[in-house]
Structure 1
Amino acid sequence: MMDDAPKRDDGNKPPPPWMLSLADLISLLLTFFVMLFAMSKVKIDRWDEVVDSLSQSIKPAPIEDSDEPIAQLNIPRVYRKPAMNLDYLSAVIDDAIDDNQVLGDATLSRDADKLVISLPGDILFISGSPDMTDKARQALFVLGGVLRNIGNRIGVQGHTDPRPVSGRGLYASNWELSLARAAAVANELKRSGYTDYINIYGFASSRYDQLPVMADEQKRFTMARRVDIVIEPHSGSGIGGS
């Protein structure tokens, strides 16, 4: 008697013939591309560009911290011009004012470590007044054109002779007059382009005794009526300085 029961599938069937052909084809293609790459020349510059592009995409560069102020009330950064050597500056100023009708009578001197430009008050101002002549304004504009290019700290000092203020003018004392004249010179320097702060002082006749003794007392009085522009060897705003 024949057994008609179906035969058991033991799962050991060989793969179909087309799969073997596909595997051989893939192996040949892989070998071909490996040989093709081995025979080709890699352009280094292009390779570096690709690497950099991929590096930025995969791992972007970290954002560097900025030292700029971010708070609303932070003090802004201030950039200042460097201070100029006083010996060099003295030569520059002397050359600039030598031929000037008003500044030609000014004198340059060194007071300790400072450069002092002494301007005769009788040439700059109307007698007993802080009002300047037109020639004086033009002369200070020339001087200010030199000073605006330096970073040195500057002060302006007004002086008078020891005689009391005569008449019923605007100023009750020599001190007020000397301070007003110093302010007038400082304002003219500002108009010429000097942008930093300028300290102003009124000394009146308090430094009259420091002037050299002369046979002609009138010449000493003339020297006393002056305005000094004091240039210091260092830079800075000079606010509140002496």
Structure 2
Amino acid sequence: MDEPKKEEPKGPPVWMLSLADLISLLLTFFVMLFAMSSVKVDRWDEVVDSLSQSIRPDPVEPTDEPTSQMNIPRVYRKPAMNLDYLSSVIEGAIRKDPILQHARLKHSADKLVISLPGDVMFVPGSEKLAQPARQALFLLGGVLANIGNRVGVQGHTDPRPVSGEGRYPSNWELSLARAAEVANELKSSGYLDYINIYGFAASRYDDLPRTDDQTRRYEMARRVDIVIEPHGGSGVGGS
């Protein structure tokens, strides 16, 4: 009498289950290695570039398409520099120049003011800069060329009216012309942004500190102030 045949178990063989467990463990191991590692961006970019070349050997070069009907060019500005740091940089620069050594540096919360004495900067009664003053402004303009802060130039005079048959009928015209002369010299030295210029004549004479010597106070009044603001961007108009 024939023995009944034993039914073989259905499903994958036993060795395949062990292999699947091994592959799962290896996959988990590599995922953990990847999670604990840091991707080197430069090597990753090389891999991406090589794959891109093999998959798409002739890539299409991207073109800048206008995003509006009026194609307005982008304007990139230098970031505004911290006034505390800028004050130390300018203070170190003015100590090295015999003309700028006479300048006064005033730092407040909202601006940095460099006061240039008119008696050493200009030909007396004129807006023309002396040659040593041009060299000093060239040095100062090189420092300002590296910042993105808004800059303005303000001209001042003492209260005495303009004497003689000079070129300027009043102190206001003289103070404005001197401010423009300093601004133009700074721009020719490397500062390429707008510079707002103002002529105040003697209207801010009372803001000067009170001293017993009026001659000294008049000397302080005849000045040109370079005003550096803490924020960037161009002013409206200007030189």
Q: How far apart, CA to CA, are the structure 2 residues paired with 1:134 and 1:219?
A: 24
Partner in structure 2 of residue 36 of structure 1: none
CA deviation string 1:90-139 (max 9, x = no partner): 00000011021100010110244100000000000011100011000000
Alignment gaps of 5+ in structure 2: 1-46
Do 1:161 and 1:221's aligned partners in 2 also have CA atoms closer than 8 Å? yes
**Cα–Cα, structure 1 residues 187 and 240, in superposed 2: closer, same or farther, change >3 Å?**
closer
How far the C-alpha of 1:161 sits from its partner, in A, is 0.3
TM-score by length of 1: 0.72
Partner in structure 1 of residue 200 of structure 2: 203
Radius of gyration: which is bigger? 1
Q: How far apart, CA to CA, are the structure 2 residues paired with 1:118 and 1:228?
A: 4
CA deviation string 1:64-87 (max 9, x = no partner): 8x6642668422100000000000
CA deviation string 1:185-211 (max 9, x = no partner): 001101111110100000000000000
Q: How far apart, CA to CA, are the structure 1 residues paired with 2:124 and 2:61?
A: 67
TM-score by length of 2: 0.73
Partner in structure 2 of residue 23 of structure 1: none
Partner in structure 2 of residue 94 of structure 1: 91
1:233 corresponds to which letter in structure 2? P
Partner in structure 1 of residue 122 of structure 2: 125
Q: How far apart, CA to CA, are the structure 2 residues paired with 1:185 and 1:106?
A: 14
* RMSD across aligned positions (CA): 2.5
Q: In the alignment, is residue 182 of structure 1 matched against residue 179 of structure 2?
A: yes
1:213 corresponds to which letter in structure 2? R
2:139 corresponds to which letter in structure 1? V
102, 106, 131: which one aligns with 2:103: 106
Do 1:159 and 1:225's aligned partners in 2 also have CA atoms closer than 8 Å? yes
Do 2:87 and 2:107's aligned partners in 1 also have CA atoms closer than 8 Å? no
Give runs of ≥4 in structure 1 deviating > 3 Å.
60-64, 70-73
226, 236, 239: which one aligns with 1:229: 226
1:9-158 to structure 2, matched below 5 A, reads 53=55, 68-69=65-66, 73-158=70-155
Number of paired residues? 188
How far the C-alpha of 1:239 sits from its partner, in A, is 1.5
Alignment gaps of 5+ in structure 1: 1-44
Do 1:69 and 1:76's aligned partners in 2 also have CA atoms closer than 8 Å? no
164, 178, 190: which one aligns with 2:161: 164
CA deviation string 1:17-65 (max 9, x = no partner): xxxxxxxxxxxxxxxxxxxxxxxxxxxx9xx96xx74xx69xx99998x
Q: How high is the sequence identity, in percent, across the aligned residues?
A: 68
